[in-house]
Amino acid sequence: MQLATPSSETLTQPDSDLDSTDPRDCAHIVDQRDPANDVTAAVVEGREVTALCGYRWIPYRQPQGRPVCETCVEVYGRIQSGG
């Protein structure tokens, strides 16, 4: 039996319409081993990069002072541990 409780805990679904932190306000992590995710080139050329969490956006500057996307951190940790 599974209980369904109303909760505002972080969901794993990439739904940008939730009332949680907007992904556009987060600092995402990109896999820089993929040349398509070269943030510097993306800024210059105005094209999208894909974050580890799957979020796609056009980077424009260093995301200083923003909360780091928790999903990205999770995926990044898996990569660092050899996954």
Judged by the rule CB under 5 A, the positions of this chain that interact with Zn ion are 28, 51, 53, 55, 69, 72
Among residues 3 and 79, whose Cβ is nearest to Zn ion? 79
Among residues 28 and 37, whose Cβ is nearest to Zn ion? 28
Least separation in angstroms between CB 19 and Zn ion: 18
Instruction: Provide the pairing of β-strand 56-57 with 49-50.
Output: antiparallel
End-to-end CA distance of the chain: 33
Helix/strand/coil for 60:
coil
Least separation in angstroms between CB 44 and Zn ion: 22
